[in-house]
């Protein structure tokens, strides 16, 4: 699973942050959590195909969390999408979408399904597929708000085929039995135990999306041992009162949830516009839960980097090599420079001795010297510089840029 925050602001966009949305990529399928204004543009920038979205989960009906829906739906329709799309969210979501599409005279050419949750629901599995399910729980905000957990189902352990055939297993049905956890009896009466052939089951990864809530026990349930717990941290400690008033969390509350839930990683987002440096919030959270990261727009978070690095290649990692090269060539550049200075001094001396030794005309000398030196200098420098330039990584085809300017630059598209 790859989780890509697309918008990490709260309430209103700021110069650097967009309205809430998080994309989850799994084996080529895309799931959106909230869809604030500008989500579709951010997806484009992050290189996540909008056509691959299958489900959109809306946390609640505060405009900043779903006003991007109409634009996105309109784009999907213009792209002639024909795959079905399911919108999951609080009751009235369907009414909102249909009413607005009707006014815009848009009739989706694709199947648009809705899963709506009533305000008094306690817990619900909103999606259930072979490989994963999504669970919803109510949160505690000023209005009805839903938290989600995307859970991969555990995979059965790997079958050791070599060992199995050594023990006399040949038929497919026998393999299936073993994989299902049943022991198999061979013709000669020997029993092959499933546990001898099949490895430990692999636990599925999980992603919990908890936004717009104050400290809530349901948030802990959603984040229980989650691979990634995305929790809102609208305010810092100093504004804990304001958090309470508005039904939001402080960074410390998010950290407490992560700690109690024993989450593997806490990612905080939904920052109030007043924090230009969100690392202040990270610092507060890390006092309680050290595995805390800041949600950065378009910077992917992987649950299984070994597997997922092949899908999106982080440029930065591959550039560690390039950085080494750069350092190396920089050293040789400096070295050359030193040699160059030395040589120049020598030359000046020769020049002085030859042309002006014993001369009293100091003005003439200085004039001539300056001009000459300028000329000499440039000529010399250019020649040397050309040579150095070849060593500079810029012209080296192996060199890749190593200083990403934005999080977008850090990863290749996927």
Stretch that binds Zn ion, among 3-11, 169-177, 193-201, 357-365 (CB under 5 A): 3-11
CB 141 to Zn ion: min, Å: 8
**Closer CB to Zn ion, 214 or 319, in the complex:** 214
CB 206 to Zn ion: min, Å: 23
**Closer CB to Zn ion, 2 or 253, in the complex:** 253
Return the structure tokens found at 260: 């109690």
CB 19 to Zn ion: min, Å: 8
284 touches Zn ion by CB under 5 A:
no
**Closer CB to Zn ion, 212 or 284, in the complex:** 212
| Best CA proximity match to 13, nearest among 72, 64, 69 | 64
How many other C-beta atoms are found inside a 10 Å radius of the C-beta of residue 146?
28
Interface with Zn ion: number of residues (CB under 5 A): 2
Cα of first residue to Cα of last residue in the chain, in angstroms, is 13
**Closer CB to Zn ion, 37 or 212, in the complex:** 212
Return the structure tokens found at 395: 């012209």
* Euclidean distance between CA atoms 14 and 290, whole angstroms: 28
Assess whether 128 carries a catalytic annotation. Answer: no
Q: What interhelical angle do 279-286 and 251-261 show, nearest 10?
A: 40
Residue 24 bridge partners (DSSP): 3, 31
CB 232 to Zn ion: min, Å: 7
* Euclidean distance between CA atoms 244 and 214, whole angstroms: 7
**Closer CB to Zn ion, 10 or 40, in the complex:** 10
Q: Which of 64, 128, 382, 385 is catalytic?
A: 64
Which residues lie closer than 8 Å to 250 by C-beta, 6 or more apart? 233, 234, 235, 236, 237, 239, 240, 243, 284
- Nearest residue relative to Zn ion (C-beta): 212
Return the structure tokens found at 203: 């636990």
**Closer CB to Zn ion, 47 or 273, in the complex:** 273
CB 276 to Zn ion: min, Å: 19
CB 274 to Zn ion: min, Å: 15
- Interface mask toward Zn ion for 185-224; x: CB under 5 A: ---------------------------x------------
Residues near Zn ion, by CB under 5 A = 10, 212
Active-site residue set: 64
């Amino acid at each position: 699973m790859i989780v890509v925050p697309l918008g990490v602001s709260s309430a209103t966009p700021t110069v650097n942050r967009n309205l809430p949305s998080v994309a989850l990529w799994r084996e080529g399928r895309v799931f959106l959590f909230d869809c604030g204004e500008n989500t579709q543009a951010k997806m484009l920038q992050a290189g996540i195909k909008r056509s691959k979205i299958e489900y959109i989960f809306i946390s609640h009906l505060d405009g900043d969390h779903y006003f991007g829906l109409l634009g996105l739906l309109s784009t999907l329709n213009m792209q002639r999408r024909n795959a079905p799309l399911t919108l999951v969210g609080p009751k009235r979501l369907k009414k909102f979408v249909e009413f607005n599409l009707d006014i815009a005279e848009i009739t989706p050419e694709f199947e648009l399904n809705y899963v709506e949750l009533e305000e008094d629901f306690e817990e619900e599995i909103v999606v259930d597929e072979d490989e994963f399910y999504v669970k919803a729980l109510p949160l505690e905000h000023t209005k009805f708000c839903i938290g989600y957990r995307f859970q991969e189902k555990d995979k059965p352990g790997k079958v050791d085929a070599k060992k199995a055939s050594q023990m006399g297993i040949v038929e497919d049905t026998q393999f299936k039995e073993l994989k299902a956890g049943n022991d198999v009896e061979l013709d000669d009466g020997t029993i092959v135990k499933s546990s001898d052939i099949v490895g430990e089951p692999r636990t599925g990864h999980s992603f919990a999306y908890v936004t717009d809530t104050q400290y809530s026990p349901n948030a802990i349930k959603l984040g229980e041992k989650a691979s990634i717990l995305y929790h809102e941290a609208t305010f810092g400690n100093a504004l804990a009162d304001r958090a309470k008033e508005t039904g939001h969390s402080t960074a410390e509350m998010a950290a407490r949830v992560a700690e109690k839930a024993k989450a593997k990683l806490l990612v905080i987002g939904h920052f109030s516009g007043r924090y230009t440096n969100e690392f202040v919030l990270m610092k507060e959270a890390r006092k309680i839960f050290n595995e805390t990261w800041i949600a950065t727009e378009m910077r992917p978070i992987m649950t299984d980097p070994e597997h997922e690095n092949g899908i999106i290649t982080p440029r930065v990692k591959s550039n560690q090599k390039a950085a080494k090269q750069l350092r190396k060539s920089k050293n040789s550049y400096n070295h050359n420079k030193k040699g160059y200075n030395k040589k120049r001094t020598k030359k000046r001396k020769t020049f002085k001795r030859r042309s002006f030794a014993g001369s009293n005309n100091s003005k003439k000398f200085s004039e001539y010297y300056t001009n000459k030196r300028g000329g000499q200098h440039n000529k010399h420098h250019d020649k040397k510089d050309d040579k150095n330039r070849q060593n500079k990584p810029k012209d080296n085809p192996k060199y890749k840029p190593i200083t990403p300017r934005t999080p977008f630059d850090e990863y290749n598209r996927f």
